[in-house]
Amino acid sequence: MGYQLSREQFDQFLDRLKDKYSVFGPVVDVDRGNYSDTDRITYREIHRFDDLELNRKSYFSPKEIFYPIREVLFQFAGGEARVPALDDKKIAILLRPCDINGIDRLDTLFLENGPEPDFYYRRRRERVRFFMIECATGFESCWCVAMNANRTDRYDVAFRFGEKILADVKSDEFSSYFAPLPQQPFDVRFVQQNARQVRVPKVADVTADLFEHELWQEYTARCIACGRCNTSCITCSCFTMQDVAFGTDRQMGERRRRWAGCQIEGFTDMAGGHKFRGKNGEKLRFKAMHKVNDYHRRFGKHQCVGCGRCDDVCPQYISFARCINTLSDVIEKRKRK
Amino acid sequence: MKNPYLMDKIEILEVVPETAIDRTYTLAWDKPLKPGQFLQLSIPGVGEAPISVSDFEDGKLFMTIRRVGRLTDALFALKAGDHLFARGPYGNGFEYGDYVGSALKVIAGGTGLAPVKKVIKHFWRSDRLTGLEVLLGFKTPEDILYEREIQAWVDSGIATLTVDTGDAQWRGNTGLITRYIATLNLDNLEGSRFIVVGPPIMIKFVTLELLKLKVPEGNIWVSFERKMSCGIGKCGHCKIDETYVCLEGPVFRYPKAKRLLD
């Protein structure tokens, strides 16, 4: 059902949600960009329409709202392990279709891979609701269409933000908030074509001999293994366990998990010193294959959703979009031979 | 909702030193196990790590642990009667049925012997194989694990033991394990099964040698070691291609293993 709201009515909607929901959206962190006098667009709890930044892409994805950078799994005391409680407030996130599709990729990994769902991911994820920001044009560095991640109907409410705001309310959970408002039919638009053209290789065409191809050597020379591409990615899900002890007798402690990334040094290190993929080009090859090949072989859809944040954040100006195209070029050339 | 990260509190029944840096821990355990599987072993506040089960019997399991890091430092401070935490077992493990009726040859390097020790014990003196041969390699005489059991295997004629480098007292075989592959009975390769376990470089050169001898790829099994933080397909550390070592491994048949490129 479609409705029309003024910005004041949108603010009233946010006010009425406050008892049960924390609402998150992209905001401007003034002067917190990587360079002096630049802003950072990031996800924060919002309270009014004016908090939102809708014209620039967020540097980080919204995943940390429900998959924290560092999360306590157990608190230890007296030789017993306790699972921390969560408050039962729900979380509504204002986000674009690519990110909703990205969260689908996280869901598949955490909830479907392995023998059972991830307890900690699931208990937060169940509280999440999607307020989709209509995204009809995307940004300069996006390639969502190539990844088939430009569209989704998995939202609770979709918004078109302008002087007037249009809302498409899909979920009954929110219908009562909109019922008093004037109805206005609203067909959500999606990105049809990106400025950046990315050609994703067919899964069947990616063969093991490409692992040794010289195309990866360029990245050994350029990549500094900082992991920004991992931490900004909506679909990167890897983590490492980390135990800490405290108290005068070190009898209290925590087991946490924290984000980890295949692009970061130490990801494969085993006790005793053995490691795999020591060269940074090998790390990037592993990441590239996971994003646009391996994940598809396992789950039937690409992991990468083409949000383009990895290209936005790389301090070495490495473009993953270009990497995918280079890989496709190599495959095409080989086919012609 | 089940929390798969919850651990059981486990009693240490016995600690036996193997070498200067390896000890075998006997732990109270009554859940089903397969050889080659692993547990996520932990000490709260110190850490958690995957450790292979080396042997098991009624009510207990055995793990041979090398002191190589923060967690194992803390483990070495524990003694019989103390407790630690564990969850699992994880991984596919070795299936006895894959080897029944064959001439089984186990080639193990260093601590790689641990995950396959139960397989050797299971088939030793059993009539379910047409033959059992074991090749064991360690770096030096000081690194040899399970000395009494290995001696019994050697005495019974099924095992050959070698060290890369001997010392003044060493009277046994020396040289890399690959040199001793030729001493195995290689008459019936079709009816033979090979299990290769050890450090990655050892697995690589032993399997290369076996393939050179025309051992069918499908008759070779290997077991991988990888960093793992979860054991249940979530943390991503052990992934190679579309394969999760913790879920589909750590035991792989060679036609699959050869396609797992890091």
Collapsed DSSP state (helix, strand, coil) of residue A59? coil
For the stretch A245-252, contacts whose Cβ atoms lie closer than 8 Å and that sit 24 or more positions apart, written own/partner, are: A245/A76, A245/B44, A245/B45, A245/B46, A246/B45, A250/B45, A251/A76, A251/A77, A251/A78, A251/A79, A251/B45, A252/A75, A252/A76, A252/A77, A252/B45
Q: Which domain holds residue A231?
A: 203-235+263-336
The per-residue b/e assignment along A235-253, b for 16 or more CB within 10 angstroms, e otherwise, is bbbbbbbbbebeeeeeebb
Return the residue of B nearest to A267 by Cα. B237
Residue where a domain terminates, one of B65, B90, B115 = B90
Determine contact, residues A235/A291, Cβ cutoff 8 Å. yes
Chain B: residues touching A (Cβ < 8 Å): 1-7, 9, 42-49, 66, 68-69, 71-72, 83, 85, 199-200, 225-227, 229-230, 232-237, 239, 241-242, 244, 246-247, 259, 261-262
In this complex, do B261 and A208 lie within 8 Å of one another by their Cβ atoms? yes
Specify whether B165 is located in the same domain as B36: no
Specify whether B34 is located in the same domain as B127: no
B184 found inside a domain: yes
Q: What pTM, to 2 d.p., does this model score?
A: 0.94
Q: Residue A122: list chain B partners with CB under 8 A.
A: 1
In this complex, do B233 and A241 lie within 8 Å of one another by their Cβ atoms? no
Q: Which domain holds residue B30?
A: 8-90
- Of residues A114, A241, A298, nearest to B48 (C-beta): A241
Specify whether B211 is located in the same domain as B230: yes
**Phi/psi zone of residue B27: left (φ > 0), alpha (ψ -120 to 50 degrees), beta?**
beta
Mean of the per-residue pLDDT values of chain B: 96
In this complex, do B235 and A297 lie within 8 Å of one another by their Cβ atoms? no
Cα separation, B28 vs B12, whole angstroms: 7
B195 found inside a domain: yes
Q: Residue A118: list chain B partners with CB under 8 A.
A: 4, 232, 234
Query: pLDDT digit string (tens) for B158-201?
Result: 999 999 999 999 999 999 999 999 999 999 999 999 999 999 89
Cα separation, A273 vs A259, whole angstroms: 21
In this complex, do A119 and B71 lie within 8 Å of one another by their Cβ atoms? no
Specify whether A231 is located in the same domain as A109: no
Cα separation, A98 vs A22, whole angstroms: 22
Q: Does A336 score more than 90 pLDDT?
A: no
Specify whether A131 is located in the same domain as A215: no
Distance to chain A for B25, nearest Cα, Å: 18
Specify whether B114 is located in the same domain as B165: yes
A190 found inside a domain: no
Distance to chain B for A201, nearest Cα, Å: 16
Residues contacting residue B6 through CB under 8 Å, at least 6 positions apart: A81, A83, B87
- Of residues B66, B226, B242, nearest to A294 (C-beta): B242
Return the residue of B nearest to A239 by Cα. B235
Banded model confidence at residue A270, pLDDT cuts 50, 70, 90: confident
Banded model confidence at residue A180, pLDDT cuts 50, 70, 90: very high
Per the structure, how many domains does chain B have?
A: 2
Distance to chain A for B98, nearest Cα, Å: 24
Specify whether B73 is located in the same domain as B104: no
Specify whether A230 is located in the same domain as A278: yes
Q: Does A273 score more than 90 pLDDT?
A: no
Mean of the per-residue pLDDT values of chain A: 95
pLDDT average, residue stretch A175-193 = 95
Determine contact, residues A235/A53, Cβ cutoff 8 Å. no
Banded model confidence at residue A34, pLDDT cuts 50, 70, 90: confident
Cα separation, A126 vs A289, whole angstroms: 30
Cα separation, B29 vs B61, whole angstroms: 6
Which tokens hold the place of B164? 């890369």
Specify whether B106 is located in the same domain as B204: yes
Specify whether B108 is located in the same domain as B83: no
Interface of A with B in 240-279 (CB under 8 A): 240-246, 250-255, 257, 260, 262, 267-272, 274, 276-277
In this complex, do A271 and B85 lie within 8 Å of one another by their Cβ atoms? no
Give pLDDT, residue A192.
96
Q: Residue B69: list chain A partners with CB under 8 A.
A: 271-272
Query: pLDDT digit string (tens) for B207-249?
Result: 999 999 999 999 999 999 999 999 999 999 999 999 999 999 9
Per the structure, how many domains does chain A have?
A: 2
Return the residue of B nearest to A288 by Cα. B241
Specify whether A60 is located in the same domain as A173: yes
Distance to chain B for A28, nearest Cα, Å: 32
Query: pLDDT digit string (tens) for A63-109?
Result: 999 999 999 999 999 878 999 999 889 999 999 999 999 999 999 99
Banded model confidence at residue A274, pLDDT cuts 50, 70, 90: confident
